[in-house]
Structures are given as C-alpha cells and as structure tokens.
Amino acid sequence: MTESVDATRPDATGDPIVWDRVFRPRSVAVLGATGRPDSPMGRPLRWLAERGFDGAIWPVNPKYDELAGLPCYPSLSALPGPVDLVLAMAPATQAPGAVRDAGAAGAAAVIVFASGFAEVGPDGAALQRELVRAGRESGVRVLGPNCQGVLYTPGRLFATFTAAAERPLEGSSGIAYVGQSGAVGGSVLDIAAAQGLDLTAWVSTGNQADVDITEIGRYLVRESEVSVLAVYLESIQDGAAYERLAVEAARAGTALVVLRSGRSDAGRRAAVSHTGAMLGDGTAFRLVSVRNGVVLVDDVEELLAAATALRGQPRPAGRRVAAVTTSGGAGILAADRCAGHDLTLPELAPETREKLARIVPAFGALANPVDVTAQLFIQEGRAFGDVCSIVCADPSVDALMVLLTMVVGDEGVELAEDLAGAMAGSDVPCSVVWLAGPDRTTAARDVLRAAGIPVFSSIAVAAKVAAELVPEPVAPGPTTVSPPASPPVSSAASSVPDGWGLLEEIGVRTPRAMPVQTSDEAVHAARELAGQDGSVVLKAVAPGVEHKTEAGGVRLGVPVDRAAEVVDQLAAGVPGLESVLVQEAVRPGLELLVGVAGGHDGWPPVLTVGLGGTATEVHRDVATALAPISPDDARALLYRLRSWPLLAGHRGTPPRDVDGVVDVLVRLGAAVAERTDIAELEINPLIVGPAGDGAVAVDVLVTLTA
C-alpha cells in the first residue's frame, strides 16, 4: 500500500482570496515553457496566448528569449511584476524548488503537472512530502502533483494540457467539474463539449498532496456562474470536509453530483496504485450524501446526464414517472426499465385521459405510457407539447420521460422546440430518449439541451438516471439525543468480558451471566442462573473466536447436571479457550442484529440494524443510519427493513416489542457518538420478545480503537 502523505493537511477552508487568484488570475507564469508545438506541455502557453486570456502571460525558461510571441524570462525572480498563478512544467525532482521559487515571487498557487510522486511508491511519497513542505514553508498552495490543471471558461483561463481542451470551448454551461483523474476528467470535458455543454470550470486534482477536491469544490459551489458541480472521486481523505462541501453546496443552491470509483475490492486496489490513497467508509459516504441531497451516479454518462438535468430543472418529487412515446414498443420497454429501478408508471386520472383524447389519435393509448403515434405529427399545430403539458399537470406524475423514434430532421427540430416550450417553467422534470441516429437529430438535441432537458440514446440509462435523481428518504441522524435513563441491570454483568460491561453501562438489557474457569464453577453458576426449565446457555470465550456458533462454541439448553460435561467438551473443542460464559436462557423471540461502527477519518459513526441470528449474511436485510439517532428516526429505520412485518406481527404472530428495539438503537447510537474508543460494537442476536417484554442482547462483540 502506498504511504499516505496527507495526514498533516491543515483544515481546508476554500479560501476565496487564494482561489480568486487561481481562477481569475491577473498574471500567469508558465515555468518550463517549451517552444515545441507538438508537445502537450506546450499547450497551456499556446492556449493562454491565443484564446483571449486578458491577464499577463509570462513564459519562464532560460533557453528562450521569446515564446508564443511573448517575452520569455530566465526565472520567476526575473518577472516584471507580481504573479498570481504558476504552471510548473518541471520534472518531479525539480517541483519542490519550483514551489519555493513561486512563493518567493508572491504566487498564490502552483499547479504541478509532473507525475512520479506518491503514486509510484515510497521514494515518490518522500518526494511528495518534500513538495508539501515546500508549499507550507513558502505560503503557496499546491494543486497536484500528477494532475492536468485548471480550466475556467468565463476568464478564458486554459491552464491545462488535456487534449480535450483542443476544442474551442467558447460557451459556459453552468456545469463545473472537479476530479482526481486527469484522464477521466478529459473524457468528461470532451463528451460534454460534444453534447454542446462547454463546462464553466474544470479541475484535475491528481494526487491531492495539498489541495483536494473538497476545497476546490467549496469554492466553485459559491461561484455565481456555477449551477451544478460534477465530481469524480477516487479517495476521500476527510469525511468531515466532504460533508462541509455537501452542506455548502445545498446552502448555495448548487446541485452536487458525485461519481465515486473504487467501491469494489479491485477498484480499491486500482485507487491505491493510481493516487496513493485508500478509500474511506463507503456506507458513511452514502449516508452523508443522501442527507445533504447529493446525487450519486455510477458512470460518466450518468454524471453528465444528471448534471444536464439539474442545470435547468428541479429534481423529481417522487418515483412516479409518466412516459409519452411515439412508439408503443418503446413505451413497454420504458415501463420495464423503470420497474427495475423502483420507478412506477401510475395510471393517469380520468380527467387527464379525457383531455388527451381530444388530441391523441383514436388508435393511440391514453393510459401510461401515452402513445401519441406518428399520426399526431401529421396534424396541424404543435400538439406534442400540449400532450406533455397535460400529462405533467396530472397530480400523480413526478417526472416525464419522452420516448421518440424516427422523428428526425426539421420535424425533429420542431418537436424539440415544441417540447422545450411546453416544459419551460414546469415543476415536473423531463428527460428524452431519442431512438434515432444522432446525425439526424443533432439540431433537435441541441434545442433540448439548451433548454436543460437531457437527451439519451438508451432507455435503460435514462431510467437509471431518473431513479438517481429522486431524493432518497433522508437518513436519520446525526442529531442531539439524550439516551434514555438506564434500567437496573445485574451487577454480575460488569465483570463479564467481551463488551457485556459496556452494555450494562449504557443500559442495554443482557441475560444474567457468570464467567467460569472450571467445571465446578460452571455447575455452581448454572444452579444460580437456571430458568424455569432448568437449563442454561454456555459460550466459549477464546481469542480470535468472534462468531462462537460457527466455531462450535455455543451450547443451548444445557441442563444443570450436564454443565460440567459441556465445559469439558468446550475446552477440548475450542482452541485457546480462556473461560466459559454461563448465561441464563432467554425465551425465544425474533432475532435481530444491531451494530455500530465508530466514526473515523472525519466520517460520523454508522448504526446498522437488520435480521440477525446465524443466517444474517444470507438474509442481508439491513438498514443503516448516521449516529446518534432519535427514537422517531430509529423507528423509521426499522420500517425500512424487509422483515418489518415480523416485528409488526405477521400471520397471527403477536407484535414484537418495537419500543424495546428503538431503545437499544438510541442507546448504542448515543454511546458510539460520545465514545471515541469504540471502533465497532455488534449485538447478534438481539432477541425481541412480544410487546412489553423488551429486547435482550444475548451476544456482543466489541472492538476498541488502537
């Protein structure tokens, strides 16, 4: 694993003074500028000189007197005035010195393009640490290394060498992009431009030795020219900084769309070799994102499609989609794909169908999907927009999906103009799937994109993006919660290992229990703890035996007179046995798993509840929330389980003690939020009795922070 070099990074503030000097510099120095027209490193100087940048441009290279028609200077110290931004084209070994020289010249920031740092191993990581020190000592922010720079079209700043910027890029879509991968970023820039969406800002952060995505993002979401920030993430070094970005984006009214890679084992290995950084907690990332309205996507196409939709339209209020189509078959495909993403196609109201019947040909379809047929386009007037307006006015519709087939050429442009006019000012978002060659619908697609309506060539992708744009129910927490008063518990529990004392401390019910070392002690404990049926539970306690049942370390229903025998069996069968826990038997009930993972790397702690017992991994029925959690939100968390009917009462079984489970969730959430020494705590199972009987933790595993 590549050594991290970012642990000493100061709190990122998104300082507008620094970043104004980066995105709106009065002067840019190109250190190591080259006169080779075929070199990628020659692009930034050429683009700055040719594309209307109105600040001073100073090439720096002692080998030349003039470059790109501009005077060339031998060093940064020889510049004729103060410099805001330095583009360092120097090799990796020269980068720390370049940063120090930039600081002496008064620069606000240096973009280090060179690779050969933490992404290549220990020697590169040491060089990256030296680079960071140079920046700190010189008072200069460092973007990169191993990055492709910055583009800001309102100021005609092309401080990048990405081949994607060979395009004219004269517009400003209101969409900004920031990402770690220069190559992925170049693809985003190029594809967006091909779709008529010249990005307003584009930033490649590379290894993020000093400046990371969240700091740049916090500046961009406050920019008046930016309405949507699209982000590509490979690593998140500080969960709190990511949450600040999400909060500030929501506060500024800037939509935030995030594509995160490295979620699979293979992806995480690739992220390490690429950027020298490991990923943070994926569950906490998702929960923080959902709570702050971040749109999460899985692909570059989805990233741009979601950004396009959000730059001109609201997010859908729910998961109810109306489909209007020129093809019955396309409508059926859309219904199937929407169902696969938990989107519904509700039946339209009778009054809606009555209005549609006056426009749609008699052999069309008025339900949902609405099939207008090709006959509609033979009629006089622009009826298609009227159809869409009527459908969007139906109270059961949260989003409109328009499916077009071979409506092309001038007819396609007229349809696009009609649809754009109909959707202007609508609070129902619209997307279009055009199943025709892009070369025959180019002008029509441009009309729709100018209106902020995304255009897809795939029904499957359109349905997926539509689902991603629907706000998820806000995950509960964190919130200020006072844990319930602790009920009386057995004093014997405080001496029991493996977390039992902790459960006693926070007031979670546990069975009466005694740890024993010998057979005689086991018999004595069994006599004291045996219930009405005369039996107890025996559990092996041994280092490394976390799941006792799988290890053969749990014996249920042990009669008192067999306690000594069972202890001997456990001693023979469980390697490293340290002791045996004798517990009173708990009446059978519904078995749940409850777990909490302590916060780390700036992420808040996460609480999990689901169907428990020995088949937990089989059921995979869990719900998660950020901790701490309120009683109302704990109850809502239980509602999200597929197994909720088992708690509520199912097929004649009595309701379980939901209040007892809620009490445990609140206590655990409060404990892990307050105690930084808890890395992980898992109760499995938590046995939930009938209403009024409470919930009892019969096994617990605690891992403390190092």
User: Which of the pair, 498 or 1, is modelled with greater confidence?
Assistant: 498
* Residues 432-474: tens digit of each pLDDT: 999 998 889 999 999 998 888 999 999 999 999 999 999 987 6
Give the CA count within 13 Å in the CB-facing half-sphere of 46: 15
Where does residue 145 rank: exposed (0-12), middle (13-18), buried (19+ CB within 10 A)? buried
Averaged confidence pLDDT in the chain: 86
Residue with tokens 């020190």: 133
Section 467-487 average pLDDT: 62
Q: 348 near 387, Cβ under 8 Å?
A: no
> How would residue 375 be classed by pLDDT, with cut points 50, 70 and 90?
confident
* Residues 25-42: tens digit of each pLDDT: 999 999 999 888 778 888
Question: Token digits for 509?
Answer: 């019910």
Section 285-299 average pLDDT: 93
Section 304-323 average pLDDT: 92
- Strands (E) across 424-573 are located at 430-434, 455-456, 513-516, 535-541, 554-559
**pLDDT score recorded for residue 381:** 60
**pLDDT score recorded for residue 548:** 64
**pLDDT score recorded for residue 628:** 92
Section 322-349 average pLDDT: 93
d(CA 338, CA 466) in angstroms, rounded, equals 8
> How would residue 176 be classed by pLDDT, with cut points 50, 70 and 90?
very high
Q: 120 near 110, Cβ under 8 Å?
A: no
* Residues 48-68: tens digit of each pLDDT: 999 999 999 999 999 999 999
Strand 399-404 versus strand 321-325 pairing type: parallel
User: Which of the pair, 271 or 261, is modelled with greater confidence?
Assistant: 261
What radius of gyration, in Å, describes the C-alpha atoms of the chain?
A: 31
Instruction: Tell which residue, 136, 94, 86, has the closest CA to residue 114.
Output: 94
**pLDDT score recorded for residue 80:** 95
Q: Coil, strand, or helix at residue 402? A: strand
Residue type, 344: T
- DSSP H helices in 507-615: 519-529, 563-573
**pLDDT score recorded for residue 617:** 66
% of the chain surpassing 70 pLDDT: 89
Q: List the 370-371 sheet strands across, edge first.
A: 370-371, 321-325, 399-404, 430-434, 455-456
| CA–centroid distance for 698 within its chain | 35
Residue type, 333: L
The answer, yes or no, to whether the previous bond of 685 is cis (omega within 30 of 0) is: yes
Predicted confidence (pLDDT) at residue 252 exceeds the cutoff of 70: yes
Section 520-535 average pLDDT: 86
**pLDDT score recorded for residue 569:** 87
**pLDDT score recorded for residue 74:** 97
**pLDDT score recorded for residue 182:** 84
**pLDDT score recorded for residue 171:** 83
d(CA 297, CA 104) in angstroms, rounded, equals 43
Number of H helices, E strands in the chain: 23, 29
Section 142-163 average pLDDT: 94
How far is it between the farthest Cα atoms of the chain? 99
Query: From the CB of residue 243, how many other CB atoms can be counted at a distance below 10 Å?
Result: 22
First-to-last C-alpha distance (Å) of the chain: 20
d(CA 196, CA 109) in angstroms, rounded, equals 31
Predicted confidence (pLDDT) at residue 72 exceeds the cutoff of 90: yes
**pLDDT score recorded for residue 498:** 54
* Residues 598-639: tens digit of each pLDDT: 878 888 999 999 988 766 666 788 899 999 999 999 999 999
What secondary structure does DSSP assign to 645-661, as a single string? HHHH--TTPPPB-HHHH
Instruction: Tell which residue, 447, 555, 507, 566, has the closest CA to residue 694.
Output: 507
**pLDDT score recorded for residue 4:** 35
Predicted confidence (pLDDT) at residue 486 exceeds the cutoff of 60: no
Query: From the CB of residue 116, how many other CB atoms can be counted at a distance below 10 Å?
Result: 17
**pLDDT score recorded for residue 272:** 36
In degrees rounded to 5, what are phi and psi of residue 683? -105, 120
For the whole model, what pTM was predicted?
A: 0.84
Instruction: Tell whether the torsion through CA atoms of 413, 417, 422 and 423 is positive or negative.
Output: positive
d(CA 408, CA 440) in angstroms, rounded, equals 6
Predicted confidence (pLDDT) at residue 489 exceeds the cutoff of 50: no
Residue type, 272: V
List the domains of the chain with CATH numbers.
Answer: 16-311 (3.40.50.261), 315-469 (3.40.50.261), 512-584 (3.30.1490.20), 590-704 (3.30.470.20)
**pLDDT score recorded for residue 615:** 66
Predicted confidence (pLDDT) at residue 280 exceeds the cutoff of 50: no
Q: What angle do CA 549, 554, 558 make, to 5 degrees?
A: 150
Q: 47 near 165, Cβ under 8 Å?
A: yes
Instruction: Tell which residue, 669, 680, 671, has the closest CA to residue 705.
Output: 680
What secondary structure does DSSP assign to 541-560, as a single string? E-TT--STTTTT-EEEEEEG
Which residues pair with residue 31 across a beta bridge? 60, 88
| CA–centroid distance for 81 within its chain | 44
d(CA 269, CA 450) in angstroms, rounded, equals 40
CA distances from 617 to 266, 281, 361, 613, 697 (A): 22, 20, 54, 9, 19
d(CA 594, CA 508) in angstroms, rounded, equals 12
* Residues 79-117: tens digit of each pLDDT: 999 999 999 998 999 999 999 999 999 999 999 999 999
Burial per residue of 164-187, b for 16 or more beta-carbon CB atoms within 10 angstroms, e otherwise: bbeeebeebbbbbbbbbbbebbbb
**pLDDT score recorded for residue 673:** 87
Q: Coil, strand, or helix at residue 413? A: helix
Question: Token digits for 383?
Answer: 């009826």
Q: Coil, strand, or helix at residue 385? A: helix
Beta carbons within 8 Å of 478's beta carbon, 6+ residues apart: 604, 626, 627, 628, 629, 673
Q: 442 near 410, Cβ under 8 Å?
A: no
* Residues 555-606: tens digit of each pLDDT: 888 888 888 888 888 888 788 787 888 888 888 889 999 988 887 888 899 9
